[in-house]
Chains A and B, each alone.
Chain A
């Protein structure tokens, strides 16, 4: 069998998810022995022409050029995996979706006329078909290795879609909500980090995006009970995965909850 080829692509993002691949210090050389890294600009000046067996795509679509480029990437890729909150939900830069991008441009840049950008930041799946989405801001190293391993042997990656609460229990964390009344997005957030924030005595802030079937009403009630007001709850869901439909719904439920309780 030919050695499978891997390509890594970057769109609007912070580099953190592709860095996760280089952060596999113990496994990187072993991975390089099993796959041909055919295109990875951050790590290699060698560019092999496509098509590629697997493309890992980091980043969101924020420019007209990138909307075209992702179509070309899709055409060159047998399997396309999006990695991280930018690629799967538009990332923190999707906060422009709730604002006026022209106003944003005028606030940040001395010469707004130099800036070419779309009014929205959208996930890769809004533009092309995606074969697998790996969540997280950043993605988890162990989960990335699991996805690569699964693709190599041709099975489905074992990435549970349950909540961070499961990981808290597995880790033996004390529940920060029950014990300390700390606001926590763990009940509605996708597992994968290993319940890092509660292990550091703080509430989960939702950087892995929504779990499979979040209970929006219960979560909003829980956050309000810990002392957050409506604006706090809306902001809590408007960070790194603000474009994820379930988090949009959660911020809308927060507004309804406010009106009901008035």
Chain B
């Protein structure tokens, strides 16, 4: 017998997420009985076709895992191959890499906050719909996103799938005047970022707590995105496995 409080919620394509998926929720007598997240993104087999490539090739290839976060894969590929070869890059190279990576974070976080998630919090179907009422907000988000892309374009050579990254460093170092011009853009972007924090921190979040353990890189004294030790919120740490070729 079907009860009035029994229903099945099926979302065939979850919108405004990075990647693809569907969700099925079954509710019985008013209580959620089953939730199923279905990732139907087809396999692309990077791990398999990377075999047999020259050690210089993975940064360009692994970038194509994701167009939204290619630098993450380029950096991982470089660090893995450099570790295997027993190479450590110099501080200026490490700094430029971090700058490039920050560019990706600024771009993808602006995308995430303004174009993907804010519409949910504010009751719109998209940022374009939001722009019809609050064009200033969306313009600020796009400007911040563009600042991230400007870093990627100067340091990485291209915003999506940067061409300037190689094992051991970069093909071309940005010139000082180019960096000075970028710094000016970033001063404006900093104000936009602070305004974004003030704005987004006012969103109403559902009061929901769930026990789960999360894992991320940890580096003392730094926001760890480009180096560190994988550490869980429960205190587990995982030493990076040495795979040095001798």
If A14-B67, A137-B161 touch, whether A29 touches B15 (CB-CB below 8 Å) is no
* Cross-chain contact of B43 among A22, A25, A32, A109 (Cβ < 8 A): A109
Interface: B168 (CB within 8 A): no
Whether A46 contacts B164 in the complex (CB less than 8 A), given A15-B67, A96-B45, comes out as: no
Q: Please determine whether B115 and A15 come into contact, CB atoms closer than 8 angstroms.
A: no
Q: Tally chain B residues at the interface, Cβ within 8 Å.
A: 57
Chain B residues whose C-beta falls within 8 Å of the C-beta of A15 in the assembled complex:
18-19, 66-68
Q: Does A92 contact B (CB under 8 A)?
A: yes
- The smallest C-beta distance from A259 to any residue of chain B, in angstroms, reads 21
Q: Please, how many residues of chain A have a CB less than 8 angstroms from a CB on the other chain?
A: 61
Which residues of B lie under 8 Å from residue A43 when comparing CB positions? 15-16, 115-116, 126-128
Which of A22, A42, A99 touches B48 (beta carbons < 8 Å)?
A99
Identify the interface centre among A10, A14, A62, A205: most chain B CB within 10 Å of its CB: A14
Per DSSP, are chain B's interface residues mostly helix, strand or loop, or mixed? loop
Q: Is the CB of B126 within 8 A of A46?
A: yes
What 0/1 pattern do residues 44 to 88 of A give for CB contact below 8 A with B?
111100000000000000110110000000000000000000000
Contact with A along B5-36 (1 / 0, CB 8 A): 00000000111111110000000000000000
When chains A and B are docked, how far (Å) is the Cα of A42 from the Cα of B20? 9
Please report which residues of chain B, range 54-90, place their CB below 8 angstroms from some CB of chain A when the two chains form the complex.
54, 57, 60-61, 64-68, 70
Interface residues of A (CB under 8 A from B): 10-17, 19-20, 22-23, 25-26, 28-29, 32, 37, 40-47, 62-63, 65-66, 91-93, 95-96, 99, 101, 103-105, 107-109, 115, 117, 121, 137-138, 193, 196-197, 199-202, 205, 207, 232, 235, 239-240
Residues of B within 8 A of A (CB): 13-20, 40, 42-49, 51, 53-54, 57, 60-61, 64-68, 70, 111, 115-116, 119, 125-129, 131, 135, 138-139, 142-143, 145-146, 149, 157-161, 163-164, 166, 171-172
